[in-house]
A and B are shown apart, each in its own frame.
Chain A
Amino acid sequence: MGAVRGCNIPEDLMYSIDNNVWVRKESDGTATVGLTSYAGSLAGQIVSYTPKKVGKEVKKDKSCATVESGKWVGPAKTPVTGEIVAINDAVAAKPGLINEDPYGEGWLVKIKPTDWDGESGDLKTGADALAAFEAKMDADGFGGC
């Protein structure tokens, strides 16, 4: 598994560096979206999670869920356009899963992408993603996870 400054960044996932989220195309054609371990580290312990409703269309780089940590509230922005097909009940019951298991149990939403081939080209993966996160952490003045 890849890591940057102590933050896990699995090299097999695709990332929107600006949005600090990952996405994985599943075999059924849906795409799973979640926050990176880096985003979770910046936010601190996440205490609330409100996803957009199932059936709602969300646009690339717009909010697909709202999270709260230590009185901070902000959007998690989807890296691809599509319809929300699933939200995570386990995270609704225990939002801390986003910090504890960001690439597994702590996923945010599943989306049916409308233009995966067109939009996923903007995303980064593998060594490119690691380098891009290194640069982002530098710009953010981030010490490490």
Chain B
Amino acid sequence: MRDAKTLRVLDTGLRRAAENMALNRALLESHQAGTSPHTLRFLRFTPSALLGFHQDVEQELRTDYCAEHGIDIQRRITGGGAIYFDETQIGWELYLDKAFLGTADMGAIARKICEAAAEGISALGVDARYRPRNDIEVDGRKISGTGGAFDGDSIMYQGTLLIDFDVERMLRVLRIPAEKLSDKAIESARDRVANLKDLLGGNMPSFDEVQKRLAESFARAFDVKLEWADAMNAAEEGAFQEALAEIDTPEWIYQHNRPATDATMREAITRSQGGTMRVGVAVDPARNQLKQLWITGDFFVKPQRLVVDLEGALRNTPIEALEANVKAFFEAHPAEMLMLTPEDFVTAIRAALDAEEARA
């Protein structure tokens, strides 16, 4: 069922983020299980804010803005940062394995795929090039960002292609400081991305044309023939429904994964009447700022999301303002707590800040 020299091409059309993420999981698992051929998929999104696998919703996104504007929030199975995806972009992704690619080196695989994608984009009439490690650019402006996931010998590698992207909307979706939303800052962010429509003006190709060029370029780069398909096979459909049941849920979207950061990490466990609290903090020593923190433990608070809200509210807090910010937070967010006070949170965070730096 899988031919080493054939690349199936699937266009799954305009879909919700949950469906697209579930298709990622389903097609990668099916490829690993041997029930899926080597595949190039084209995908489009209704308005969506997409987190990297290891990110936290509250730390990365303006959830109120997303709710107001009907923007779905979802978690990718790939790495990297949060992005905004809507009808003004096309997604492309490949499901292959290490034998097909001739290497198991993740960096080399990313390069190989991005170089082929850059050639396909260039065939539309622009000068697109791979920019290590994960971007494709035109004259120094990003036109495609990429990322991947693997499972055993199978890999899924995906990228965006900006057609007529609204940079300002992206900035409003992402949780970034207000000063980055000034007209000047938005203009400068716009200068760093390239839209196919701006580059090509009146010669804008159709979606079909974009897909054709990219597909041909991948076929050339991997020396395979293309097979355009109009539907998934039965095994993939089953895997899709199963993945959707897991991914189209708050449990998947709001799962709490620890952040990666270059900052100094410290951690402490404290006990109070209300229970045990474990706090990890990332500190920016140069600015004497609490960059981010995470709080876990066996204490009781209601609503449950209060803890992530507190973590979000305390992001980039100057250390001397900690007490005041925690106090202000609890004044603004009525909470039901069992034998627990706002002071217990302050004590626990202080203990983490005062702890020895995690082993370097």
Contacts and interface: CB of A to CB of B under 8 A. Distances in A.
Do A and B form a real pair? yes
B79 A44 contact: no
Main secondary structure of the interface of A (DSSP, over half): mixed
Interface stretch (A4-12, A23-31, A89-97, A115-123): A89-97
Given A18-B152, A72-B149, A48 B257 contact: yes
A56 to B, nearest CB: 13
Contacts of A72: 78-79, 106, 110, 147-150
Contacts of A66: 53-54
B342 interface: no
Nearest to B98: A140
A93 B134 contact: no
Contacts of A93: 265, 267, 280, 358-359
A73 B53 contact: yes
Interface string B78-114: 1110000000000000000011001111110010000
Given A93-B359, A94-B360, A74 B258 contact: no
- Interface size class on chain A is 20 to 34
A68 B79 contact: yes
A28 B226 CA distance: 55
Interface in B151-168: 151-152
Given A42-B105, A68-B53, 11 more contacts: A44-B106, A70-B133, A71-B52, A71-B134, A72-B150, A73-B53, A73-B79, A74-B151, A92-B280, A105-B359, A142-B103
Interface of B: 52-54, 77-80, 98-99, 102-107, 110, 133-134, 146-152, 257-260, 265, 267, 280, 358-360
A74 B134 contact: no
A69 interface: yes
Given A48-B79, A71-B133, A73-B79, A92 B258 contact: yes
A43 B78 CA distance: 14
B359 A90 contact: yes
Given A50-B258, A94-B360, A139-B99, A73 B105 contact: no
Contacts of A94: 265, 358-360
A142 B99 CA distance: 12
A93 B258 CA distance: 9
